[in-house]
A and B are shown apart, each in its own frame.
Chain A
Amino acid sequence: MSAYQTGLIVQISITIMTVVAVFAMTGLAGMFSLGQAAYMAVGAYVTFVLSRFLDIPYPITGIISILISILLSWIIAVPTLKLRRDYFALITVGFSQMILALVLLFEDFTRGSIGFSKIPRMDNLLLVSLVGLALIIFWIRNLKYSRFGRMCIALKNDEIAARSFGIDVYHLKIKIYVLASAIASFAGILMALRNRVITPDSFGWAQSAEMQIFLFFGGTNSLTGAILSAGGLKLLPEFVRDVTLFGVSMQEYRTIIYAILIIIVINFRPQGILGEKEINFKWLKNLYRRFKQSILKKNESYD
């Protein structure tokens, strides 16, 4: 496998990781965050800045950075998650701006907009990201099939109804937000290891919005939908790199195409491409069974 391909796989695993975390947050708990990229920034910067200036190996500072993300997300979640969803969205946007401002303010350590370079090379990054991704997906899957997860889906994000069923929505929301933020900061560390340099531009609100869009494209209630759409939409531009339309590179149209796709999907299939479906063994079995039945039927009709 060429380094180009491994690099792409790592990048896609990182994207899927963040989108899966957003799935838990938005799809299950109905929180709309536009600041997840900021936690990636926290993960990346805290890990490698601490590691360089305190001379600690980065796996240890990596854990510290994830703990800091957990703390930060908890501080934000406690006052805002009691309130309307809009307040929460606002705070996450403000938070991501604040983190980027802090990166610029502490430029003696982070090198500001010029970028924090010379991040050590990690040889089995591919393995680590794939294992990390598998664990995260597994955990979120379990969350989805837990009592809380099923209730969320059944009630279509309706908090008041959920509360009337005796679910402590507030505390569950905090937990899920904290979890999603921890995952995002882990993804941030991986991204830094892949790019070998961190710049604040990589963590703008456009990145956060992209995660939400990927999620809704695949379907807010489908974990596999989120995974497939994140992987697919992230890969797509790499394939259309050399394609041009009216003399303009398709790259230019990329975001427009995403946006139009989303508008069509929300209008005509608001539950997302996959809707409620999960692609798993059961689904495959059903598919096979239906396929067999239709063949049988055809055969019958020929008789």
Chain B
Amino acid sequence: MALQLTINGISIGAIYALIAVGFAVVFNIMRFSNFAHGGMISACAFISFFFQRAFDPPPPFFVTVLFSAVCGMGIALLIDTLGYRRIRLKNSPKIYYFLMSLTFAILIEQILTVFFGTDIYGFPSVFKSQTFEIGSMIFKTMNIVILAVSVVILVALVWMINKTKIGLAIRAVAINADTSRLMGINSSVIVTVIFIIAGVLAGVSGVFLGVQYGVFPSVGPSMMLKGFIASIIGGLGSLSGAIFAALALGLIEMFLTFFIGATEATVILFGIMLAFLFIRPQGIMGIIVEDKA
């Protein structure tokens, strides 16, 4: 039983990781928690749902994922232009980013609610059989696909940031935006790249959440909170820390729910979080980011 729980925990942890990394990437450069990420995920879930339904026969699943990723990119850039650009140019206090992202999260959820209602839309099932068994273990086909895609995306992302030129520029801006500008790095290009990455991540997680849990306006925001927790516990801005924390969160949640109960798990999780911040405020990866508002 513990093995089955572990598998389930890792599968949900993989989804948390995709969301948490989306947070961490933006935080790395912009130094704020992008709450709009949850709204972007919901929007992408709806887009991919209608895309999948628009064709008969439905397009291959990876096409939907790609399409959703592109749309997510577009939404992210749109939000950046409408919401964050002027704040950035004016050098306004960070708290405005915070509020702006919150407002966008609420706005997207409400627009979806008005046009599509709060009822769930069932994503047509992608695979013939939902599960397969190995021995006494039951694997969800979708979980395996999600796990595989997440691993590929996350590895590619970490490689890009650590090995490529643009990754170097991103890291430079992350360390000090002003100095890197003096070194000839165009920081507005970097910001665009960052939002493209975040948008792609939101697009992919939107499809996955839609397939796993159905499509409804609050699907993103409800999961976003978990991603937020993971990105903070992982150490703000640290990608590998976020992934690690997300997997841990998925596992802890699964075991707590199984052995103690879902409602109690919420309470205990909060206790763990508070204790963690008390004992190790720098997060798992130990990077301290000074609060310069």
Bound together = yes
- Interface flag for A18 (CB, 8 Å): no
Flag whether B191 is at the interface (Cβ < 8 A): no
- In the complex, chain A residues whose CB is within 8 Å of the CB of B33: 86, 89
* Distance between A71 CB and nearest chain B CB, rounded to angstroms: 14
With the chains together, A41 CA to B99 CA distance in Å? 24
Question: Interface SS of chain B: helix, strand, loop or mixed?
Answer: helix
Chain B's closest residue to A253 (CB) is B114
Min Cβ gap B34→A in Å is 11
Chain B, 215-235, contact with A by CB distance < 8 Å: what is the 0/1 string? Answer: 000000000010011001000
Q: Give A146 Cβ to nearest chain B Cβ, in Å.
A: 21
A254 and chain B: residue at smallest CB distance = B110
For the complex of A and B, 5 pairs with smallest distance between CB atoms: A259-B107, A101-B266, A98-B270, A79-B278, A84-B291
> Which residues of B103-124 are within 8 A (CB) of A?
103-104, 106-107, 110-111, 114
Interface centre among B93, B236, B270 (most CB of A within 10 A): B270
In the complex, which residues of chain A have a beta carbon less than 8 angstroms from the beta carbon of B103?
213, 259, 262-263, 266
The contact string, 1 if C-beta is below 8 Å from chain B, for chain A 139-173, is 00000000000000000111110000000000000
Q: Which of A84, A212, A216 has the most CB of B within 10 A?
A: A84
Inside 8 A of B94's CB, which chain A residues have their CB? 85
Q: Are A98 and B267 in contact (CB under 8 A)?
A: yes
Docked-complex contact B270 and A216, CB < 8 angstroms: no
The answer to whether A90 touches B273, judged by C-beta atoms less than 8 angstroms apart, is yes
A216 with B106, Cβ < 8 A, contacts A79-B278, A160-B292, A270-B87 known: no
Nearest-neighbour CB distance to chain B for A79, whole angstroms, equals 4
B137 close to chain A: CB less than 8 A: no
Closest Cβ of chain B: how far from A272's Cβ, in Å?
Answer: 10
B277 within 8 A of A: yes
Q: Which residue of A lies closest to B33 (CB)?
A: A86
Is A85 in contact with B293, judged by CB distance below 8 angstroms? yes
A159 to chain B, nearest CB (A): 6
Residues of B within 8 A of A256 (CB): 107, 110-111, 114
| In the complex, residue of chain A having the shortest beta-carbon distance to the beta carbon of B264 | A105
Q: For the complex, give the distance between the alpha carbons of A216 and B267 in Å.
A: 31
Please indicate the chain A residues that have their CB under 8 angstroms from the CB of B232 in the complex.
Answer: 86-87, 90
Q: Is A227 an interface residue (CB 8 A)?
A: no
The minimal Cβ–Cβ distance linking A255 to chain B, given in whole angstroms, is 4
A56-80 residues at the B interface, CB under 8 angstroms? 76, 79-80
By a CB distance below 8 angstroms, the chain B residues around A252 are 114
16 further A-B pairs in the complex, CB-CB below 8 A; given A84-B236, A216-B99: A32-B98, A79-B278, A80-B274, A84-B290, A87-B281, A95-B270, A158-B292, A158-B293, A159-B293, A213-B103, A252-B114, A255-B107, A259-B110, A262-B99, A263-B103, A270-B87
